[in-house]
Amino acid sequence: MPSYINVTIIWDSRGESMSFYSISSWEMKDIVENYNQVQAHLLYYVHPHLLKEWVWDIFCKEPYELTIDSIMF
């Protein structure tokens, strides 16, 4: 399991509003449990679309796009 997955969140279609967020291993465990994932994704641990849903749930705002910058093991 990765220690962290670093992502860039783009909030609007113009790309003018961006945030950097680091998803920790305990959050990844929560994602797997909360979204009823039977098996973790091999590379990312959780599928990228679930990371986008997680960010949406955490910030209560739908991200326009989510880019995975780095995965730290």
Q: Cβ contacts of residue 13 below 8 Å, gap of 6+?
A: 64
Average pLDDT rounded to a whole number, residues 24-44: 75
Q: Cβ contacts of residue 59 below 8 Å, gap of 6+?
A: 9
* CA–centroid distance for 42 within its chain: 15
- Vertex 3: Cα angle to 65 and 70 (nearest 5): 40
Percent residues over pLDDT 90 in the chain = 42
Closest CA to 57 of 27, 29, 13: 27
Residue 44 has pLDDT above 90, yes or no: no
* CA–centroid distance for 20 within its chain: 11
pTM for the model: 0.79
Residue 18 has pLDDT above 90, yes or no: yes
Residue 2 has pLDDT above 90, yes or no: no
